[in-house]
Structure 1
Amino acid sequence: MKTPLQQINISLPNGISLYLKREDTIHPYISGNKYRKLKYNLLYLQDHWVDTLVTFGGAFSNHIAATAYACHEKGISCVGVIRGEELWKEVVTNPTLKFAQSCGMKFEFVTREQYRDKEHPEFLAYLQAKYGTCYLLPEGGTNALAVQGCEEILGNDTAEFDYICTAVGTGGTISGLINSSLPHQKVLGFPALKGDFLTKEIQQWTHNNRWQLIHEYHFGGYAKVTEALIAFLNAFYEQTQIPLDPVYTGKLLFGVYDLITKGYFTENSKILAVHTGGLQGIAGMNQFLQKKNKTLIAYADALKNQ
């Protein structure tokens, strides 16, 4: 499925032009790269007559929300293994979990210690024993089938770009982009998490070295934000009417703009940034910001009315 390319009509130096690949428009609930990651996984599951999908995520996970709706749409039972055993008390107030539950997702709340061991054979055996023969989909949805789906983000309409830029969570999206990029293109990844572990994750899925991870724009780590980032999101929306999520694409665009001002990109470059969706997480982020008496993401109400 092809998604629109939208030029960002903000004056940029050195003849540089910036476009956004609007993957966020691909589906109203199965957002952006999650649609791509789930596509072949759900086809595999249906072809192999597996009744239940079990996957993993945190309290405001885009993957949990998208998987819940996708399984609802396909008539597949699904279970979300959720990090934080105390969150069972917050299902009715947490917008992501409330939505996932409304789609029919069942929850398995576990401690953070248990979650860290979620790939241990004993824990996986426990899930299989409790939920029967089920399809286990990793956190973030990244596996070989997910990478295959993300390879379809780029196409003939993106061949003119010099740089392909994306946020990075578990590494599946950038791996697909690397595999389908053209020889003249460089893929830049902006991790939302601290740490250098992603390089090895990506290398297992990719077959060229025309890519680089840029680690300076995680804002303290996964799901962490600053006043400067929130100000950027609000200003960007005011100028373009394009909503960005605060965990992934917002940090990506902040980083791209900063690198442009620092002269990172060659003169007359054409840059494509991939909007991977995740807008459902804005409601939860605003709950957090409100409790801290911080500036809110101003366009949250506008998204509700779309």
Structure 2
Amino acid sequence: MELRLPSPLRELRDDRLAPHGVRLLLKRDDLIHPELPGNKWRKLKYNLARAREQGCTTLLAFGGAHSNLIRAVAAAGARFGFATIGVIRGEEHLPLNPSLAYAAGRGMRLTYLDRSTYRHKHTPEVVDRLRREFGDFYLLPEGGSNDLAVLGCAEIPAEIDEPFDVICSPVGTGGTLAGLAAKLAPGQRAIGFSVLKGGEFLTAEVERLQRAAYGSGSRNWHIEYGFHFGGYAKRTPELDAFLADWASRHGTVLDRIYVAKMMYGILALTRAGTFPPGTMVVAVVTG
């Protein structure tokens, strides 16, 4: 199956938006490819090219036991001819959960780091240890966010053929927001919705990623920190009710880890009058 690019852009009809004069477009990056959806393909695109340029034949990625990046790297390796290694946080548990079973089924070699060592995964000591064990590899950071990932995500605004004022994305590591904001037109702005509790460090991380990719940062974005619902992959009755209501209204199931928190936040900001009447908002559905 070929990559679906540009990803579809569809307007959401929701009676909670109309009274405030706000229109909402969904940038359906989740439909790019069933195995390489959303920001994962955007983040991998230029990294795969760089790995090829450097003559690397193996990709190594870090992630938790349910990591979307681990799945995507395994799929990309199988599709584009790379061997893949997944370094998983924590201990091995058998049988493998569906995410890790999928990765293994795509040929990924799985290895595990205890949580203490995993916290230092990007230090030279840990990386050198992995190279001694596995040989040479192209290293992908946790979440896939680096300067090349930013360049991939920065291509999203140019694909949107409708005039818009605000573009939104969930934020886990900051790469998608860094790219989006870097390529906005004057007068446009970006809002990120942190999925992490205590994620205030993400502001500095987005700034760092923009500097790494472009040499400087932009001032046309900010991150909302009040819609994490307890933290990464956490859920509450309020979030569950929102998901059920969304499915009833729109006939689709939102990704609860990232996208649901963003959509909840957009509607909350709309109710609060954050967006002036006539505002066109784009929400990037990352997976």
Q: 1:156 to 1:129 in 2, by over 3 A?
A: closer
Question: Separation in 2 of the partners of 1:138 and 1:126?
Answer: 16
Aligned residue in 1 for 2:114 = 111
Aligned pairs for 1:9-88 within 5 A? 9-11=13-15, 12=17, 13-85=19-91, 87-88=92-93
Equivalent of 2:203 in 199, 203, 212: 199
- The normalised TM-score by structure 1 is 0.87
Shift of 1:238: 2.2
Aligned pairs for 1:97-136 within 5 A? 97-136=100-139
Equivalent of 2:263 in 253, 264, 284: 253
1:237 matched to 2:247: yes
Contact 2:6–2:159 (CA<8 Å) still a contact in 1?
no
Question: Separation in 2 of the partners of 1:106 and 1:266?
Answer: 51
Shift of 1:156: 5.3
Contact 2:21–2:276 (CA<8 Å) still a contact in 1?
no
Question: Separation in 1 of the partners of 2:46 and 2:161?
Answer: 22
1:180 matched to 2:186: no
Q: What residue ranges of structure 1 are gaps of 5+ in the alignment?
A: 278-306
Question: Separation in 2 of the partners of 1:247 and 1:78?
Answer: 25
Contact 1:88–1:109 (CA<8 Å) still a contact in 2?
no
Shift of 1:35: 0.5
Contact 2:84–2:107 (CA<8 Å) still a contact in 1?
yes
Q: What residue ranges of structure 2 are gaps of 5+ in the alignment?
A: 211-216
Letter in 2 for 1:89: L
Contact 1:159–1:182 (CA<8 Å) still a contact in 2?
no
Letter in 1 for 2:155: E
- Secondary structure at the counterpart of residue 35 of structure 1: helix
RMSD of aligned Cα (Å): 1.2
Aligned residue in 1 for 2:94 = 89
Question: Separation in 2 of the partners of 1:260 and 1:247?
Answer: 21
Shift of 1:137: 0.6
- Secondary structure at the counterpart of residue 241 of structure 2: helix
Number of residue pairs matched by the alignment: 274
Contact 1:52–1:131 (CA<8 Å) still a contact in 2?
no
- Secondary structure at the counterpart of residue 122 of structure 1: helix
Shift of 1:242: 3.0
1:142 matched to 2:148: no
Shift of 1:159: 5.4
Letter in 1 for 2:110: F
Letter in 2 for 1:265: F
Percent identity over the alignment is 43
Aligned residue in 2 for 1:303 = none
Aligned residue in 2 for 1:282 = none
Deviations 1:99-144 (A, max 9, x none): 1110011111111111101012110000111111111110001111
Letter in 2 for 1:253: M
Question: Separation in 1 of the partners of 2:129 and 2:191?
Answer: 39
Aligned residue in 1 for 2:220 = 210
Shift of 1:88: 3.5
Aligned residue in 1 for 2:166 = 163
1:2 matched to 2:6: yes
Question: Separation in 2 of the partners of 1:79 and 1:273?
Answer: 32
- Secondary structure at the counterpart of residue 155 of structure 1: helix
Question: Separation in 1 of the partners of 2:29 and 2:52?
Answer: 25
Question: Separation in 1 of the partners of 2:31 and 2:252?
Answer: 11
